[in-house]
Chain A
């Protein structure tokens, strides 16, 4: 492909930045020019978190344009809806079935729209949903949701498994290699 745009979204603490950094590393190793953008500071405290990765022969802006993203990878359902306008109509949405309550739901002021994924389907978007939080819990480390999601994403990209696994090893401390490689393969074979 000439260019591939990715948008990773979720809630602060879910490992969105690790996922996007892994993607940018994999893209770099596959010979693309890469730009990645992320948010720090205030938004990381339980807020909505987004990080974009752009791969192309030459990337200019690190920012994505609405309606042009190839892959929207969401670690949480409401966040998938929040950033849906970035996805191009024929783009792919990958989503973890996690539902995390924002402040207005926590304080009892509003209700979580549990039918949000149905609404996204009605708009005609193609998505694949995975029970990543349960898979991660069964694996013994709830923090591996992000790597499970990367495994799922890898199914749609023409990048060899070795590049992925080597990047995971480069990125994470050694004691986390085994569990994260398992997590990656869970997503990839799902």
Chain B
């Protein structure tokens, strides 16, 4: 099973009863798999901060709880984490954080272990699916024993790799009472000072557990000393043919006696870990008089692999061939409802009016790629609105650059609401476009408060977005169907003339959930002049046939959005008659 699936299985076997998460690659499948078990409550929370708070609440009620998030989600939840270690927990609380070394599907590569060190939370790092299950199970006991939250640090390669897992039965967790304890859970300074002192005791308790646990183990097989953790341990086992290993599964706080006993036997040790030289630096700080070679000698931004270890440490080069391989970046799907919005914005700024367009995190960040090339920034969840406010406040008396913010429906409820308040309260003349495709698409179509679909598939009333925006102080709100391109274009142009905050909701389900129109389009070769204007919509179903110098649409790839019809300058594209479908 997948690493994420195994984490879910471990939590279930440990008797977890409450699970809350916000989706994010590579962590999403933890919750998707927890949903398969009937014995527990599962929910998608609007964001990671709320999900961690909900887990703390569940813990106080006496229930074992788990939340999962991607690494950048912990930035949002960090406010909770930094104090959660002070308050501690009642029933066990486990936080699964998926780091993304090499940035397969993320905006940065931050190493979660630094957050753990800052807050003094525990970190466990499994190396394969079996250990992911076992460590998650144990994490609940560790959390209860140390009175601390436990982070299971996964990485993309663990979360999204499958290996064989042996199952055990679920054991219901020992029943805990509801806990009310003001001295522990009200962090007024007088209490917080005592809790801070006790935090060091809790850390010491964790260290003594980790010195003894059989999850950390030594494997003797040679004169080279290697310390490794997480999936990087498996890469190292393959790259170092003869070496003695200290496999660490507990990476914060570290079992320092175990480490120093191992390290002192060598002149130098290699520390193989993902993202940053976190363990290596901790060992260096122990000042054991042994040379420590860690992640700092590896080229940054590359995911760890057996090949990378061989290349960096042993100068072994992999084969390379000189082939004319074109890059194949991801792109908006054929029929994607976001395409029209970005095509319209790009056309306006090319032909009519200079726009500064901020964007956000989701599929629509692909609107940045040329030839759509319709956005100027993507930083973090919700940043489109805050950044747009700052830009607009400074450009409003300027040379007429209008500021547009674009963000998705799930991003809007995740962290867009305070941004809207910023626009309305501080009167920033921004046009915000909410790309409402009724789902959280990039992570695999999870429901969200805007769609009203919940984790187990049941439905509640979706957020009444127009009323919310109105209540927050936005006076100009329009809802449009982006498949009606002419209307969309007109609405955008009209709203751009306003000198106050305004919002367009571009509403159409994701094409992977529901196709826009059950039609297909074709190019009339007689009329096509080969001008390539239509290729600016960047549709995967379209390409230029260099032999006849005409554009072609592949019927098997066309999803019938019809945007190409609006882009064509010579009326050469029309619907296929239904009998040809």
A140 contacts chain B at the CB level, 8 A cutoff: no
Q: How far is the CA of A70 from the CA of B36 in the complex (A)?
A: 36
- Complex formed: what's the CA distance from A44 to B307 in Å? 24
Given contacts A36-B161, A113-B324, contact A106 B535 (CB under 8 A): yes
Contact (Cβ within 8 A) A78 B104: no
A82 to B322, CA, bound (A): 10
* Interface presence of B135 (CB below 8 A): no
Nearest CB in chain A: distance from B375 CB, A: 15
Q: Residue among A44, A46, A47, A104 with the most chain B CB within 10 A?
A: A46
Segment touching A, from B53-61, B200-208, B329-337: B329-337
Complex: chain A residue closest to B232, CB-CB: A61
- Does B328 lie within 8 Å of A48, measured CB to CB? yes
Report if A40-B105 is in contact (Cβ < 8 Å); known contacts: A62-B234, A66-B319: yes
- B-contacting residues, A94-144, CB 8 Å: 100-108, 110-113, 116, 119-120, 123, 137, 142
Nearest CB in chain A to that of B159: its residue: A40
A78 to chain B, nearest CB (A): 6
CB distance from A49 to the nearest CB of B (A): 9
Is the Cβ of B326 less than 8 Å from the Cβ of A35? no
Smallest CB separation, A55 vs chain B (Å)? 11
The answer on a CB contact under 8 Å between A45 and B328 is no
How many Å lie between the Cα of A178 and that of B25 in the bound state? 34
* CA gap between A190 and B325 in the complex, in Å: 28
Q: A67-B319, A142-B556 are in contact. Are A78 and B326 (CB under 8 A)?
A: yes
Distance in Å: Cβ of A46 to nearest Cβ of chain B? 5
Nearest chain-B residue to A104 (Cβ)? Answer: B326
Return chain A residues, CB-CB under 8 Å to B369: 103
Bound: A61/B321 CA distance, A:
24
Cβ distance A116 to chain B, nearest Cβ, rounded Å: 7
A33 close to B164 (CB less than 8 A): yes
Please tell me if the beta carbons of B333 and A110 are within 8 angstroms of each other in the complex.
no
Cβ-neighbour of A85 out of B25, B235, B319, B326 (below 8 A): B319
A11 contacts across to B, CB distance below 8 A: 328
When the two chains form their complex, are residues B544 and A108 in contact, meaning their CB atoms are under 8 A apart? yes
Q: Is A28 an interface residue (CB 8 A)?
A: yes
Residues of the B chain whose Cβ atoms lie less than 8 Å from the Cβ of A48: 328
Given contacts A45-B363, A106-B543, A120-B323, A40 and B28 within 8 Å (CB-CB) = yes
Distance of A43 Cα from B156 Cα, bound (Å): 13
CB distance from A56 to the nearest CB of B (A): 11
Q: Among A24, A65, A100, A111, which residue has the most Cβ atoms of chain B within 10 A?
A: A65
Please report the C-alpha to C-alpha distance between residue A52 and residue B329 in the assembled complex, in whole angstroms: 20
Please tell me if the beta carbons of A82 and B163 are within 8 angstroms of each other in the complex: no
Select which of B104, B234, B318 is within 8 A of A61 by beta carbon. Answer: B234
Q: In chain B, what residue has the closest Cβ to A51?
A: B160
In the bound complex, do residue A38 and residue B104 qualify as a contact, i.e. CB atoms below 8 Å apart?
Answer: no
Partner of B370, one of A12, A78, A84, A107: A107
Bound together, the chains give a CA A36 to CA B366 distance in angstroms of 28
CB-CB under 8 A from A82, the residues of chain B are: 325, 328
| Complex-state Cα separation, A104 to B104, whole angstroms | 21
Chain B: minimal CB distance from A164 (Å): 19
Contacts of A35 in B (CB 8 A): 128, 161-163
With both chains docked as a complex, state the minimum distance between the C-beta of B576 and any C-beta of chain A, in angstroms: 17
> Which residues of A have CB within 8 Å of B160?
37-40
Interface residues of A in 14-70 (CB under 8 A from B): 21, 24, 28, 33-48, 59-63, 65-67
Pick from A42, A65, A120: contact of B330, CB below 8 A.
Answer: A42
B142 close to A (CB within 8 Å): no
Q: Which residues of the partner chain B approach A176 to less than 8 Å between Cβ atoms?
A: none
- CB-based contact B326/A113 at 8 Å: yes
User: How far is B319's CA from A33's CA once the two chains are assembled, in angstroms?
Assistant: 27
Is the beta-carbon distance between A46 and B331 smaller than 8 angstroms? yes
Residues of B326-380 contacting chain A, CB below 8 A: 326-333, 363, 366, 369-371
Q: Which residues of A contact B538 (CB under 8 A)?
A: 103, 106-107
Is residue A81 within 8 Å, beta carbon to beta carbon, of the partner chain? Answer: yes
- Taken residue by residue from 142 to 177, chain A's Cβ proximity to chain B (1 for < 8 Å, 0 otherwise) reads as 100000000000000000000000000000000000
CA distance A178 to B325 in the complex (A): 37
B284 proximal to A (CB < 8 A)? no
B536 interface residue (CB < 8 Å to A):
yes
- Chain A residues, CB < 8 A from B256: none
Contact indicator B157/A37 (Cβ below 8 Å): yes
A24 vs B324: C-alpha distance in the bound complex, in angstroms? 31
What is the chain A residue whose CB lies nearest that of B332? A45
Bound CA–CA A105/B551 (angstroms): 11
Assembly CA distance A65 to B162 (angstroms): 18
Contact between A107 and B25 (Cβ–Cβ < 8 Å)? no
CB distance from B267 to the nearest CB of A (A): 26
Q: Are A37 and B161 in contact (CB under 8 A)?
A: yes
Tell me if B180 counts as interface (CB < 8 A to partner A).
no
Alpha-carbon gap, A106 to B330, bound state (A): 13
Report Cα–Cα, A167/B426, bound state, in Å: 60
Q: Contact between B326 and A40 (Cβ–Cβ < 8 Å)?
A: no
Q: Which B residue's beta carbon lies closest to that of A81?
A: B323
In the bound complex, residues from chain B placing their C-beta under 8 Å from that of A142 are 556
B residues 304-327 near A (Cβ < 8 Å) are 305-307, 310, 318-321, 323-327
Whether B25 pairs with A41 at a CB distance below 8 angstroms is: yes
Q: Which of chain A's residues have a CB closer than 8 A to the CB of B326? A: 78, 102, 104-105, 110, 112-113
18 contacts between A and B (CB under 8 A): A12-B330, A13-B333, A37-B157, A39-B105, A45-B366, A46-B332, A61-B231, A61-B238, A62-B163, A63-B157, A65-B238, A66-B307, A85-B320, A103-B328, A105-B326, A108-B535, A111-B546, A119-B323
A101-B540, A113-B326 known; 17 other A-B pairs, CB under 8 Å?
A: A40-B160, A42-B25, A43-B104, A45-B331, A46-B540, A47-B331, A59-B163, A61-B237, A62-B157, A63-B307, A84-B321, A85-B319, A102-B327, A102-B328, A103-B329, A103-B369, A108-B535
Listed in ascending order, the chain B residues whose CB lies under 8 Å from chain A are 25-26, 28-29, 104-105, 128, 157, 160-164, 231, 234-235, 237-238, 305-307, 310, 318-321, 323-333, 363, 366, 369-371, 442-444, 532, 535-536, 538-540, 542-544, 546, 556
